[in-house]
Amino acid sequence: MSKIIDIEDRLKLEQKKKAKVEKAKKIEAVRKTLQCTRCLARCMKCGVQFETHEMYKRYKGPFRFCSSCQEEYDEFILLEKQGGESPYYWHNQQWRRAWRAWLDYQQALKEYSESPEFIDLVREVEWGK
């Protein structure tokens, strides 16, 4: 009789395993959204890692860019406001469309991270529910 496996204990063990996997998925979702996409050590556009002294300097505008991406962003904003043509031949309509899409993506991420459902997920992960 000692070799008989209690089915209830087995089911509880399986439920605990599933709960651990679900919690790990939730933690990863929060980490990617909050930590990776808003990493202070990397340029938000190209992902290049900042030197230590650059991580703590103030950035103009809503994004932390490397100097190259900041220059491109400034040019994009200027062209969007004033219209006209860029002095750089590669700043064509597709370049503008790529910047618009990237800015739309950043806005969508911001809205998602401020949504009640995502905030509930963060609380759940933080409080260990």
- Asked, for residue 43, whether it belongs to a domain, the answer is yes
Mean of per-residue pLDDT scores for the chain? 83
- Asked, for residue 30, whether it belongs to a domain, the answer is yes
DSSP string, the chain: -TTPPPHHHHHHHHHHHHHHHHHHHHHHHHIIIIIITT-TTB-TTT-PBPPHHHHTS--SSSS---HHHHHHHHHHHHHHHH-S--SSTT--HHHHHHHHHHHHHHHHHHHHHTSHHHHHHHHHHHHT-
Number of domains in the chain: 1
Which one-letter amino acid corresponds to residue 77? I
- Asked, for residue 2, whether it belongs to a domain, the answer is no
Give the range of the structural domain holding residue 28, as residue numbers without chain letter: 8-127
- Asked, for residue 90, whether it belongs to a domain, the answer is yes
- Asked, for residue 1, whether it belongs to a domain, the answer is no
- Asked, for residue 85, whether it belongs to a domain, the answer is yes
pTM: 0.70
Summarize pLDDT for 31-82 with one digit per residue, the tens. 666 666 667 788 889 988 887 777 667 667 888 888 899 999 999 999 999 9
